[in-house]
């Protein structure tokens, strides 16, 4: 498969006396998100989306909340772990889209900072990271933050493929013609006739 899609969802409850972290960014607010780790709802949904895309289980199976090791953990650790699983499966992240649902604080003023941090964590350009936010109208979830994330992965090009492609792109057409000519010299007449009627390799074909 050249492409894979992944989806992740998470929710955390607001609690006083806890710092608020969303997408790896500390946001000024009177309450934070309760959780075994730093409660970063967006990074948890992102981790699940990455793991899901390569069918590698979920965040809870990799980082059980019963394990004291992850108490207060920086959730970017989970994203980095999931990224390694993506890489070992032979894929790279193409783009990410997300929606946060929370009544407060307003995400708009921080969306660019969150976008930049998530892009940095994923090592992709900022314009490949979508950060959207909504308030939970009629959902009765005013004391919770919810995150939905989708990711698209693409198969990483093998080094050998890249070398061959670069060599092909740098080879001038006369050299290719010459090689084709030499190959044809070595084949029998009927074969040669057949080969010469086949489509020529042009720079257009090589692109
Ligand atoms: Mg969570």
61 Cα–ligand 1 center, Å = 12
Identify the residue with better confidence: 158 or 11.
11
Paired tokens of 162: 């890249």
Query: In the chain, what percentage of residues exceed pLDDT 70?
Result: 86
- Contact call for residues 24 and 43 (beta carbons, < 8 A): yes
146 Cα–ligand 1 center, Å = 9
Q: What is the mean pLDDT of residues 97-120?
A: 98
Q: Is 77 exposed, middle or buried (0-12, 13-18, 19+ CB in 10 A)?
A: middle
1 Cα–ligand 1 center, Å = 30
40 Cα–ligand 1 center, Å = 7
Angle between the N-to-C axes of helices 76-88 and 41-53, in degrees from 0 to 180, rounded to the nearest 10? 10
Determine the distance from the C-alpha atom of residue 131 to the mean position of all C-alpha atoms in its chain, rounded to a whole number.
Answer: 14
Residue 10 has pLDDT above 60, yes or no: yes
Identify the residue with better confidence: 200 or 82.
82
Look at residue 207 in the predicted model and tell me its pLDDT: 47
What's the CA gap between 131 and 122, in Å, rounded? 14
Go through the domains of the chain in sequence order and give each one's CATH number.
3-156 (3.30.1330.50), 171-196 (no CATH)
66 Cα–ligand 1 center, Å = 13
Q: Give the pLDDT band (50/70/90) at residue 65.
A: confident
What's the first-to-final CA gap in the chain, in angstroms? Answer: 22
65 Cα–ligand 1 center, Å = 10
Q: Which range has the worst mean pLDDT, 13-22, 101-110, 188-197?
A: 188-197
């Amino acid at each position: 498969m050249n492409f894979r899609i992944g989806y992740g969802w998470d929710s955390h409850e607001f609690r006083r006396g806890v710092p608020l972290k969303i997408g790896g960014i500390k946001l000024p607010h009177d309450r934070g998100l309760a959780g075994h780790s730093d409660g970063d709802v967006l990074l948890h949904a992102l981790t699940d989306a990455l793991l899901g895309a390569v069918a590698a289980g979920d965040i809870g199976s990799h980082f059980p909340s019963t394990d004291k090791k992850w108490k207060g953990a920086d959730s970017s650790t989970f994203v980095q772990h999931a990224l390694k699983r993506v890489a070992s499966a032979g894929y790279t992240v193409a783009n990410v889209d997300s929606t946060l649902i929370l009544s407060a604080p307003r995400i708009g003023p921080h969306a660019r900072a969150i976008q930049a941090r998530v892009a940095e964590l994923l090592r992709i350009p900022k314009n490949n990271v979508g950060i959207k936010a909504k308030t939970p109208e009629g959902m009765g979830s005013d004391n919770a933050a919810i995150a939905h994330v989708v990711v698209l992965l693409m198969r990483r090009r093998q080094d050998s493929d890249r070398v061959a492609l670069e060599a092909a792109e740098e080879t001038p057409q006369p050299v290719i013609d010459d090689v084709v000519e030499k190959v044809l010299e070595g084949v029998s007449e009927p074969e040669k006739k057949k080969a010469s009627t086949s489509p020529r390799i042009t720079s257009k074909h090589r692109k």
